[in-house]
Every structure is written in C-alpha cells, then in structure tokens.
Amino acid sequence: MPGKELLSPCMDCREAEAVFLIRSRHLCRNCYVRFVGHKVLRRTEQYRLRRSAPGTPRGKILLPLSCGLASSVLLHMVYTQMKEQRSRPHAPEGFDLHVLIIDPSSISSSSPPLGEALELLQQRFPLASFTQLPLHAAFELVPDLGGVLPRYAGEGFNKDDASLSPKEHLDAFRASISSNTSAADVDSVLVTRLIVAFAKRNECFGIIWGDSDDRLAAKTLASVAKGRGSSLTWQVSDGMTPFGLEFRFPLRDLFTAELQNYADCFAELTDIIKPDAPLSDNILTKNLSIDQLMLRYVSSQGAKYPGVMSNVTRTANKLQASQLSTNGTRCALCDTLICNSKGVYNQALHDTSPSQLCYACDRSRPGLS
C-alpha cells in the first residue's frame, strides 16, 4: 500500500513529516529527539555501563537542577536513558540519580520560589531522588565557610553578629558587596561549594551539569576575564576536579535553541521549566556582571556564528591542569589549590591567616574589581 504523500519527509526515517532543522538535517519529532539524545548518550555512556561489585549499591551521580531549560532537559534525557536501561534484563546496573535543587529565591530575591515543583518532579521522575536546599545551607554543609566571608567582604561586612540566622548572615554578606561582578562571582562560588559538599555527603562519585554549548562558551570567557582561567580544566571540561569528584557536561554538543526544540516535544517538561528572565537590553552594560555580559555576548553572537562558540568550548575542553607548583594549600572561599609559583601569585606564601584566598577570589573582592 503506498504511504501517505509527505510534503517534506524526515531525512532519517522518511516516514514522517520533518518538523525540525538541525545541523542541515530536516527531521521528524522522533528522529530529532533521538539525534539530540544520542549526543548526550555518548557523553554519559561510561556511567550507564558501570557495573557495581556484587552486593554493593549502584554508584550515585548528582544532577544540580535549576529548573531552567538546560538542566531540566538534561534530567529528562538522562532519566529516559536510565529508565530504558532498567527495563532491560541483564543490563549493567548503571547509576542512581540524585537531583539537587537550590531554591532560586534564596539566590536572587527577584526569582519566585519553586512552590510545588519538588512534588511534581518526584512524581514525574520516580526513579530519581530529589532534595531542595536554600543557598545558605552551604554554611551547614561547609562549616568553615562562615569564617572566610569577612575576609572576602572586608570592612563593609559586620561579621560578629552571632544572633543572625544562616539566611540573615548570607543576606548581610551579600548586601555588603556593591559590585555586580563580585556578587555574581561569589554567588557562583557558593553554589558550587554547596553542590559539591552535598554530593560528597551523599557519596556521589560525580556531578553532571546542564550547561549547553553556548553557556559553556560564556562561562569560559567570563572565567578568563575574572582571573579564574586555571579552573577552566574543571569548570567547563569533563574530568576529575580538585574536589575529588568528576564533573561532566553532557549537553556540551548542543545549543540552547536545540534544547528548546527538545523541551517543546515533551508536555511533561513545560510546567517544570522556569524560563530564564531575559537580560533586558535596557540595562546599562556597566551595570552587568562579567558573567551576564558574556552571556549576552554569546547569546547574540552565538545565534549568528554557532561554530565560533563551539570552538571556544571545544578548545577549553582540551586544556590540561596547571603545572604551577602548589604546597597543597586550598583557597578558603572556592576550595581550589593555591598556586605558589613565583611571579604568578605568591601572596599566599607570606600569608599566615587561616583563611587564605586564591588569586581569583582575592581579585574578585569588592573594592578591587
């Protein structure tokens, strides 16, 4: 029986109407989902193929979820793979998936709280486990962190008020930082510290981050501008980190627009995803943090020249860890190793305070940036 006449048949299956154009291929919905899903599958393959020793539990992976587009799509993709794998007899055990949500309203007062999202997520993704924490939970999970904040913020921060709750303590600290770049930088450091500490407490062996290609490009450019270039080997590259955990970025081959098309294919994602507030063009450039500035740049230029942005990310992924000497001292704020190489940064050698800062954290302090 002759098939239905198609106006624009899918270039892969030729059985359905093409609805998406990706990398010069016109694909139907199913083939599109398979195509982008495969890009993530390749990046998580070694996790899926893990076999645990007899009698031991599966290894655990942490997925930090902001309920933005990218991390929600990553959750959906990884979960779909996990479910498919568990339905097959004799398949390797793979991994257990833990999801950590940091309450966005605890990071920015302009973000609404997540409300019912946690229950909804647990219903939709029953094989994964979910935890929600506020950003100030970092003080509980990383007890030394409270002590370093006065060192970072300097005079403007009243450190001695013991009556403050963790939330008030964090609010007071952030209120003392007037520079947008310092505030965004320290927020991202605190978010990473909280996520890493949570992953360790829950014995996860790795963290998978939902950064798309363009986000990674923006992160690369911003890190270099902020003096955090040496952390690119783990901030945007797949592999081991100074924290003793693996970081992976399975969405590194996909652009935001491609993730949006994927999300549009699944009704169960639409009420989970909280769209990012667009960066208004009316905000003066001087009022943007370096991170926002780079994101704006990459979003506008990436749409015109996607290849250039992929190049930034691909190049950063090939970087090797710094060979600068270190005596093993860690930065009290960001927990990375402090380099002692002469002429690069040697203040740490003369600094005997218990809360030493690395070059990037010291440079990012308000008043200096």
Query: Under the rule (CB under 5 A), what is the footprint of Zn ion?
Result: 10, 12-13, 28, 31, 331, 333-334, 358, 361
Rg over CA atoms, the chain? 22
How many distinct helices (H) and strands (E) make up the chain? 16, 8
Give the per-residue SS3 of 163-207. CCCHHHHHHHHHHCCCCHHHHHHHHHHHHHHHHHHHHHHCCEEEE
Is the CB of 30 or the CB of 131 nearer to Zn ion? Answer: 30
User: What is the closest distance, in whole angstroms, from the C-beta atom of residue 274 to Zn ion in the complex?
Assistant: 30
User: What is the closest distance, in whole angstroms, from the C-beta atom of residue 311 to Zn ion in the complex?
Assistant: 28
Residue at 227: amino acid letter? G
Is the CB of 25 or the CB of 58 nearer to Zn ion? Answer: 25
User: What is the closest distance, in whole angstroms, from the C-beta atom of residue 31 to Zn ion in the complex?
Assistant: 3
Secondary element (H or E) of residue 291 = helix 290-304
* Sign of the dihedral defined by the CA atoms of residues 52, 211, 241, 334, in that order: negative
User: What is the closest distance, in whole angstroms, from the C-beta atom of residue 30 to Zn ion in the complex?
Assistant: 6
User: What is the closest distance, in whole angstroms, from the C-beta atom of residue 243 to Zn ion in the complex?
Assistant: 13
Is the CB of 114 or the CB of 222 nearer to Zn ion? Answer: 222
How would DSSP label each residue in 13-80? Answer: TSSSB--EEETTEEE-HHHHHHHHHHHHHHHHHHHHT--PPTTSPPEEEEEEE-SSHHHHHHHHHHHH
User: What is the closest distance, in whole angstroms, from the C-beta atom of residue 330 to Zn ion in the complex?
Assistant: 8
Is the CB of 107 or the CB of 333 nearer to Zn ion? Answer: 333
Is the CB of 75 or the CB of 357 nearer to Zn ion? Answer: 357
Is the CB of 12 or the CB of 264 nearer to Zn ion? Answer: 12
Contact 335, 349 (CB under 8 A): no
